[in-house]
Each structure stands twice: as C-alpha cells, then as structure tokens.
Amino acid sequence: MSDLPHENDQPDPLDAFEELVAEETDRDPDLAVIEAGSRTLRTQGGPPEADVPARPADPEVDRALREVETELATRWGETKLEPSVARIAALMDVMGEPQRAYPSIHITGTNGKTSTARMIEALLNAFELRTGRYTSPHVQSITERISLDGAPISAERFIETYNDIKPYVEMVDGQQEYRLSFFEVLTGMAYAAFADAPVDVAVVEVGMGGSWDATNVIDGDVAVVTPIDLDHTDRLGGTPAEIATEKSGIIKQDATVILAQQPVDAAQVLLKKAVEVDATVAREGLEFGVVARQVAVGGQLLTLRGLGGEYPEVYLPLHGAHQAHNAAVALAAVEAFFGVGAQRSEPLDVDTVRKAFAAVSSPGRLEVVRRSPTIVLDAAHNPAGAEAAAEAVREAFDFTRLIGVVGASGDKNVRGLLEAFEPIFTEVVVTQNSSHRAMDADELAAIAVEVFGDERVQVEPRLPDALEAAITLAEEEGEFAGGGVLVTGSVITVGEARLLLGKG
C-alpha cells in the first residue's frame, strides 16, 4: 500500500494531497520530486515495458506475415484517400456487420489519440472488461494496430484474420469503383478480430478526420475528441473550425461526447453537432480535468477530477502536461462508458484507477530507450505535438545539451515543427526515414538552417549515421555532462530508430 494519505483517512482528498506537496516542497525542491515519485514507484513497480512486438521468431510465420504486408502494400496507402465510407460499409455488410457485435469508444482529434486510447484500454482492462483497441500508425510492427486485452494480436492471428476476410475484400473490390485501401482492409480486420474474440468493448482511433474515416461505420457509445490543431489541412480544412466539422462526424445520436480543451471555434462546431444529435457533452476544464500534477520519477503524480468525483495520488508513467490532460480525458471517457454522472453518481474505484494508470505505456511518446547518453523517442510530427513534447522535455529532463535527430514527412509543417524544438535543441541532425513520404534530408536541412543557423545543423541522410552523429555530439562535454538525444519528426523515424537502438 502507498504511504500517501488515502481518501478514507482524510475528509478532503485534495487537501491531503496539497498538504503532502506543501510538506515536501518546504524541503529542497529536487528532493521533493524524488520523494513523491519514489513513494509511488515503490507501490507500482515503475513504468511498464512498452508493448511493441518484434518480427516473428518462426521463419514460416515471418514469411507469411511478409506476404500479407506485401499484399496490403499494393493497395492505396494511408495518405491517398477517396472521402467515402461506401467501400468499408460494403465490406461490413458482406461480413455480417461485425462492428455491431460490441459497444465502442471512438476517438478523434489532432494529437494525443493513441496515448488516450491506450489509457482508456488500460482502465477498461483494470475493470475486467475484454477490450479490442485499434490505433494507427504503428511504431514498428503492423500487428500493433490491433490489440486484444492490452496486447497486440500475434502474427499468427493477424495472418489468420487477413485470410478470413480476404474473400470478402476481393468481393467488394470487384463491386466498387476503387479497391479497398490499406487502411480500410485493416479496419475490417480489426472489427472482425474484435467480434471473433469476442470483446466487451472496442476502443477505436480514427485514421484521419471523422465523417468519412473508415472507422466511422461504428456508432460509438462514447465519442472522444482530443485537442484539435492544424494538421492534414489539405484534406481536413485550413482552420480549427473546418477540421472540427470533419471530426465531429464521429458524434452519433444519443452518444456521450468527451471534449478535451479545444480552440473556441472548434469547440463551437463540436457543441453544435452534439446538440443536433442529442448527445451529452462533458468538457475538460468544466465537468472534468486535471486538478494538480507534480513531476515524479519516471512520470508524474496527478489528482484528476472525473465526472463522479476526484481521484488523488494517480501515478502516470508518462511525461508532460499533455499526457496529464490525456489521462483526464481517458478517465472521463471510461466513466461515461460506465454511466458515471448519468446512471450513477459515485466515482469509479480509485485503487483500480490508480493501478490502471500506473500500467500505461505509450511507445514512441517521450520514451527513454537508452542511457549514457539518454536517448528519448517522440513521434511529434506537427507543430502542436512538437510544442507539447518540447515543454515536457524541459519539465521532465535536466539536459545540459540536447541534440535533436529529426526526420520528417514532406507533407507536414516542417518549419513549424523545427521552430517548436529550436529552443531546446543545442544542435540538430537532420535525416530521413525509409518511407516514400520522407522529406529529402537536404531539403529538410535547408529549412533547418533558416531556423537554427548553419553552425547548429548537421546533415546525415542515413538514420544510423544520424544517430551515431547525435550521440557523439551529446557526449562532447563528457560522460557526466548531462547530454541527451531526442529523435523525432515522424512515427516512422521513431520506429526505425527504435529498431536500430535494439528495441523490438
């Protein structure tokens, strides 16, 4: 048991939490942080290992998985879209509507969707529900996208699911103007795998947008909208309001909507849609939110206010204020799913909530993968995500010298991303990943020079060389000087770096 005060010991849990913080911060601030974190870590055993599967050990299974990946790669990629749910609806029809076999929580937004989905999943699992989680893109293995009970499905099950739905996919391909896309087929696989399990609830992240996203053949009991910002503007619109219009498509009749903090114009659009379909709305900062947060060893210690009350002493093994807000959104979503605030007034069991959050992992989200020097991976790929990551690095790490390794996609606001990281990077090594979408390293370098100046930019087109160069730069002031490396710019860059650094 934690030796922090519990709600049964004090009439007001928040008062107890604040007394603890005051007591500790009267001492050396650094010692207060260490003490608050170590108490929680003794209880929870530290942050979990991230669940990113490696290639199958069995050569035959690996060969079969590669065949499936090759077949999927012949279809439209995730960046080539024909905005319609006609094809996925046709697939669901011939498959017998597997997505209707379970209730669902549907998640859209610009940033934070995957981390929020993982937190929702962890909470549902802690309350002994069987879950299916569908998220994208993957960090290393395509099988990460479809999870059952908190773990990616096995390669064997992934192959079996693909082969099961392949005849239906081919049938729909022959009937439609365009073949089903890569993402549409994976969505069909996820919904089929969840029905076959079967799961008690599906946690589904949109691929892009909302209204015409392939996932939107479900009617989510709970619709979650994480913070909206400018991304995919060529497809979703050039303002937060235009983007919100598209993303509001996941809000269905009589659903409960959990809104993270939003730009005013985006919030207006989302609230209008909720009124149109008689949805119930809970807003971060009003009906729920983060009451207090404190940096702790390996993460942070939170007090969250949910729809049913306050949850003190919640340890989250993820860094940054943005992850605390994701946690508040996830908690409210699960409360709404269980009817807290509607059918029931009492909060969820606080010890179960604490246990769930302490078990959360989010690969590639300020993930420390090596020490001496410390190497951190973060999949920020737009300015808003980069700003959140930069602020979290300032808060959680004490780097005296931080080297950035940046490999970005050519269709992103790369200048905005680099500008967000400029204040925290001593130098930046620009590179490119293996994707056809990757921005050419020299083109990226030209932008980086304009942002950082020529003396702070190094170009290494090959990612292994970029990592080696960054590690060398980080170590220039000596082994104990506090140098670090942050690899960022794209989920693909982070995934490839993760493999090169021996993870998965």
Interacting residues of 427 by C-beta distance below 8 A, sequence separation 6+: 403, 404, 452, 456, 457, 458, 473
Cα 415 versus chain centre, distance? 23
Nearest 10 degrees: CA dihedral of 471, 112, 305, 392? Answer: 20
User: Is the pLDDT reported for residue 276 higher than 70?
Assistant: yes
Six-digit token string for 424: 């925290």
Mean pLDDT on 152-169: 97
Averaged pLDDT of the chain: 88
Report the range of poorest mean pLDDT among 12-16, 102-106, 296-300.
Answer: 12-16
What pLDDT shows up at residue 235?
A: 60
Cα(422)–Cα(487) distance, rounded to whole angstroms? 14
Nearest 10 degrees: CA dihedral of 12, 14, 19, 20? Answer: 120
Report the percentage of the chain scoring pLDDT > 90.
75
Residue 273 is classified by DSSP as: H
Confidence of residue 234 (pLDDT cuts 50, 70, 90): low
What pLDDT shows up at residue 225?
A: 96
Confidence of residue 51 (pLDDT cuts 50, 70, 90): low
Confidence of residue 312 (pLDDT cuts 50, 70, 90): very high
What pLDDT shows up at residue 436?
A: 87
Please report how the helices 182-196 and 155-175 are oriented relative to each other, as an axis angle in degrees rounded to 10.
120
Residue 441 φ then ψ, to 5°: -60, -40
What pLDDT shows up at residue 288?
A: 97
Confidence of residue 44 (pLDDT cuts 50, 70, 90): very low
Mean pLDDT on 330-354: 93
**452-462 tens-digit pLDDT:** 999 999 999 99
What pLDDT shows up at residue 237?
A: 60
User: Is the pLDDT reported for residue 205 higher than 60?
Assistant: yes
Confidence of residue 22 (pLDDT cuts 50, 70, 90): very low
What pLDDT shows up at residue 504?
A: 61
Model pTM score: 0.86
